[in-house]
Structure 1
C-alpha cells in the first residue's frame, strides 16, 4: 500500500495538470469547478468555469441573481439541473459548510462533489471517487463492476497519513484522466504499473456499465413574428429553461391547429440525453399571435433567454432552412444580409 501511495504522489508532483482551479482555496470556486466536472469534460468545462465566475464571482452574487440569469450564464454547458441546484444551494447558505457530512445535505451535491470540496477546500480526510478514480482502483485491484460503497471504502482506506487529502484525490483523478485511460491505457507510462493486478487485461476492468437507451420521435414547432420567436418555459428535465413547443410527433396535427398555422418541414436534428436518443422533426411557420394558443407576449428574441442545447440545434436548423428560402425571422436579420419576415 505504501509503495502505491509513494509512487503515485511522486508521479503527480512531477506531472500535475495545469487547470484554472488547481491550487484554488476559495470553497465556492472549487464548488463551481466540481459541479461543472460532474457531467462536462475538463477541456470543455474551462471556458464555462471562467464565464460563470465572471458573472457570479461569489456565493452572494449567485444568491442575489435570478434563476433565469443563472441558467443563461450556464447555457451551453448542458445538464442544467446542476445550475438549478447551485442556485438553490446559494439560497440555503451564506457560506459553504466545512464538513463532508454537511456538504452532502446541500442541493445537487452527491458523495463525489461533497468529498472533493471537503478535501480540497477544507482539508478533510475524505476520498473523492469519480469515474477516473473508479477506473484506476478497479484496474489496480482487478475489480469487475465494484459497488460504489465498496469503492468509496477502498479509496478511503488508501488515503495516506500525513499527506494533504486533496492532493491525493487529485493524483488519482489525474492518473485516470491522463494515463489510465478508458481505451488504450498508457500502461508503459503508469507509475503504479508494477503494482497493478489488472494490467494484463486492463480492458476487463471496471467492466462496462450498460445503459438502456430508448429512441423517441418528436416534433418542434418554430413560430415567428415581428417581435421574434415563440418561446415557452419548459418543464421536466429542462425546467427553468425556454424553448419552442416540443411534443411527440403524433401530436403535430393537434398542435398546429391550436396555433392556426400551416408549417413547413425544415429538417431533422438529433440529440442524445443520458437515457434517450431524440430524433426531432423541425417545423416552421409565420405566426402573428392569433389562434387558440394566442400568447403574443411570448414572441421574443431567443438570444435573450436561456435555452438547452436541443433548442439551440432546433433554432439553428430552422434558421438555416429559412435563410435558404431568403427569410430570416430571427433578430438582427439585416446584419446577415437576409430579409426579415414581414407578416401580412
Structure 2
C-alpha cells in the first residue's frame, strides 16, 4: 500500500467524520480514560444505541475507577444485567481493582500495562489510548475488520491468524499523524453506519473510489464468514419457587461457565433432580408445579432450551439464611438490585 493511499484513506474518513460522524455520545463529553474504557468494554459485541442507557446508568452509579473497584461484584453485575457477555463485567471489575492496587487508582497510559489488564487486549488498549490520550495506536474491532477487508479486497475469515496479522499491518499503515481520537471514532462509526454488514451504503461512501470490493462486485462476499457448523443443543430445567411473601428463590451460578457467579433460578438437569431439590429446600408438593412455556436462548457457542416449572405459595426452609451465598429469597419488588441473566429476568418479569 502506497503512503498516498494510506494518507487519503485517513483524510477522507476524517472529512466524513466531521459532517457525518457521531459527536454527541455520552462518553465523549468528557472523554476521560475511565469513561472511554467503560464504553469500549460495553461496546464489545454490543451496538452503540443499546450501550448508551447502560453506560449512563453505570457511570452515574460508579462514576470513578476507585468507585468501581470498591463496589461489590453483585452490584457490578446488577448494573450490567441485560448487556450479556458477563465476563466483560467481571473483567472490568477486576481490572479496576488491579489499577487501585498497582497503578494509583488510574488506568495506566502505557500500552503494555494497559493491554495486560483483564478484558482489554490489543485493540481495546489502542482505542483507549488513542481516544483518551491522542496516542498513535491502531484498533481492529469487527467494524474495522470489515472496512479494511472490503477496501483492500482481503480474502479469508478475519478471525484467522494470518488474515488478522495482515489487517493489523494495514490498520497501522492507515493511521494519521494527527487527530488520533477523531480518526479512531471515525473508523468505528464508518463501519457501524456506512460500511455495514448487510446493505452497506456504498453510494454514499467517501472511500468508494479506491474500494476493491466495490470495484470487483464483492461487497456482499467480504469479509468472508467463519466456516459454519450447527450450534449444539442443550436443555435444562429452571425452578420458579414463589412463597406467600412475594419472594422468589434464587441460586448462585457456578464460578465458571455461562452466567458465572450471577444469581439465577435454581437449575437442574431433569425432573428427578428437580424433585430432590424441592424436597430439600422448600415445603411444597412437587406435583403441584405449573409447567411454563419453553424458552430458547442462543449463545455464541450453543442453543439453550429452558423448561421452567413454577410453584406458588411454597414455604421457606429455615436452612436458607439471609447470609447464604448459594441460595436467597429475593422479593419481586427488588429484582432490579440483582444481576439476573436476560431470559431469567424476562421470565420473572412476567410474574411480577
Give the TM-score taking structure 1 as reference length. Answer: 0.86
Of 173, 193, 198, the match for 1:178: 193
Output the CA distance in 1 between the equivalents of 2:80 and 2:237.
25
Of 237, 240, 255, the match for 2:274: 255
State the partner residue of 1:133: 144
Output the CA distance in 1 between the equivalents of 2:10 and 2:93.
38
State the partner residue of 1:226: 244
Output the CA distance in 2 between the equivalents of 1:211 and 1:87.
34
Pair 164,268 (structure 1): closer, same or farther in 2 beyond 3 Å: same
Other structure's SS at 1:237 match: coil
Give the drift of 1:272: 1.2
- The equivalences for 1:151-170 within 5 A come to 151-161=167-177, 163-170=178-185
Deviation per CA, 1:275-311, whole angstroms, max 9, x where unpaired? 12111111012431349xx536522225142211121
Give the drift of 1:211: 4.7
Deviation per CA, 1:73-127, whole angstroms, max 9, x where unpaired? 1122222211111111111111000022211110111222111101111222110
Give the TM-score taking structure 2 as reference length. Answer: 0.84
Give the drift of 1:216: 1.3
Output the CA distance in 1 between the equivalents of 2:221 and 2:297.
30
Output the CA distance in 1 between the equivalents of 2:277 and 2:61.
40
Output the CA distance in 2 between the equivalents of 1:264 and 1:184.
45
- The equivalences for 1:208-227 within 5 A come to 208-212=225-229, 213-227=231-245
State the partner residue of 1:150: 166
- The equivalences for 1:168-207 within 5 A come to 168-199=183-214, 200-207=217-224
Please say if 1:279 is aligned against 2:305.
Answer: yes
State the partner residue of 1:325: none
Output the CA distance in 2 between the equivalents of 1:211 and 1:19.
35
Give the drift of 1:194: 0.4
Output the CA distance in 1 between the equivalents of 2:220 and 2:17.
24
Other structure's SS at 1:98 match: coil
Aligned CA RMSD, in angstroms, stands at: 1.8
Output the CA distance in 1 between the equivalents of 2:17 and 2:277.
61
More RCO (CA 8 Å, sep 6+): 2
Of 279, 292, 295, the match for 2:320: 295
Give the drift of 1:231: 0.6
Give the drift of 1:10: 1.3
Output the CA distance in 1 between the equivalents of 2:149 and 2:195.
11
Output the CA distance in 1 between the equivalents of 2:195 and 2:273.
53
Other structure's SS at 1:231 match: strand
Other structure's SS at 1:218 match: strand
Other structure's SS at 1:198 match: helix
The 8 Å contact of residues 76 and 309 in structure 1, kept in 2 or not, is answered as: yes
- Structure 1 segments unaligned to the other structure (5+ residues): 320-329, 331-344
Give the drift of 1:23: 5.2
Aligned residues: 314
Output the CA distance in 1 between the equivalents of 2:85 and 2:58.
15
Deviation per CA, 1:34-74, whole angstroms, max 9, x where unpaired? 11000211101000010000000001111111111111111
- Structure 2 segments unaligned to the other structure (5+ residues): 100-104, 280-285, 323-327
Output the CA distance in 2 between the equivalents of 1:24 and 1:134.
28
Output the CA distance in 1 between the equivalents of 2:316 and 2:53.
38
Please say if 1:13 is aligned against 2:18.
Answer: yes
